[in-house]
Amino acid sequence: MSEKPAKPDWNHFGRTQASRQWRTQSGAMGRSATQAIVDAAQVTPGLRVLDVACGSGEPAISLASQLRGSGEVTGIDIADAPLRIAEERASERGLSNTRFQQGDAHKLPFPDGSFDLITSRLGVMFFADLPRALAEMHRVLKPGGRVTLLAWGPMKQPYFETTIGTLLSRLPGAQTPEAAQTMFAFGEPELLAGKLLAAGFRSVQEKFDTLPWTWPGTPEDFWEYFQEAAVPFAPLLKTIPAGRRNEIDAAVITAIGKFYDGNEIRFTATFNITSAMK
């Protein structure tokens, strides 16, 4: 009997440290994606919002800021370590309408019809039982409520081609881990929309957007951040032979450098942004 693939460790120490060490840079890189899901969510004052798989706080914090002190945003994540960073960020911004708690998307700890809006940025691809997770979202959403999900598009884009693509080309026989492959599950049009319809949602709207994905810093710093933060790729990164580490690092940094203007790394990133109503 074959073993099940290892699940990503979202509490991994390196990921938490990366969230702190590279906080400004990672926030800047993800800003366009955060704004895209906030815009698609159509926030209005007084809403009760649930942000699923909120990680270190986005888009929950941006949604709470958009509410301007009204309503409430609850952020949940299966990993507790990033939630402490989310709480710090919300406190630094003086937000009084946010709360963060550990929770599983497959068994949301809330009564039926608790929320007006549900969001998830770069989380839906990793739900182990997607129909169950979407059914839970449908259950805790009020009638007429809205769900907005943002997922990665296809893997073939600069952020991954310069890093993982370079690594795979240098290590014959190496493969993208199964957990990482799921990141791109919704790069195929209409697939996520179909899953929402099957879960009982209506008025589904799906679009693919290519957005700025800009890292304010050097290729060397970016590659260090990527290795610490890209948890689904950890099994592949661990296969780099010690004797080839310098060679691989140099190749990846050269590939990233093609997008570096001396101050910033100007990637673009393609996302699937899908909304639906209950």
Pairing between strand 202-215 and 265-277?
antiparallel
Number of structural domains in the chain: 1
d(CA 195, CA 188): 12
Mean pLDDT by 10-residue block, N- to C-terminus, for the chain (278 residues)?
43 50 87 97 96 95 94 95 92 96 97 98 95 98 98 96 96 90 94 97 97 97 92 91 96 98 97 98
d(CA 48, CA 31): 23
Cβ pair 141, 199 in contact under 8 A: no
Q: What are phi and psi of 113, to 5 degrees?
A: 60, 40
Answer yes or no: is 71 within a domain.
yes
What region does 57 belong to: left with phi over 0, alpha with psi -120 to 50, or beta? left
Token pair belonging to 134: 């979407």
Answer yes or no: is 111 within a domain.
yes
d(CA 130, CA 123): 11
CATH number at residue 271: 3.40.50.150
Token pair belonging to 264: 């910033």
Q: What are phi and psi of 175, to 5 degrees?
A: -135, 150
Cβ pair 135, 127 in contact under 8 A: no
Answer yes or no: is 85 within a domain.
yes
pLDDT at 7 (0 to 100) = 56
pLDDT at 14 (0 to 100) = 43
List residues bridging with 73 in a β-sheet. Answer: 49, 98
List residues bridging with 207 in a β-sheet. Answer: 273
| Strand, coil or helix: 142 | strand
Answer yes or no: is 3 within a domain.
no
pLDDT at 19 (0 to 100) = 54
d(CA 134, CA 8): 20
Answer yes or no: is 257 within a domain.
yes
Q: Give me the domain span that covers residue 104.
A: 13-277
CA-based Rg of the chain, rounded to a whole angstrom? 19
Cβ pair 15, 228 in contact under 8 A: yes
pLDDT at 244 (0 to 100) = 95
Answer yes or no: is 8 within a domain.
no
Pairing between strand 98-102 and 72-77?
parallel
Answer yes or no: is 33 within a domain.
yes
Within 10 angstroms of residue 31's Cβ, the number of other Cβ atoms is 16
Question: What is the dihedral sign for C-alpha 133, 271, 215, 227?
Answer: positive
Answer yes or no: is 183 within a domain.
yes
Token pair belonging to 179: 């957990």
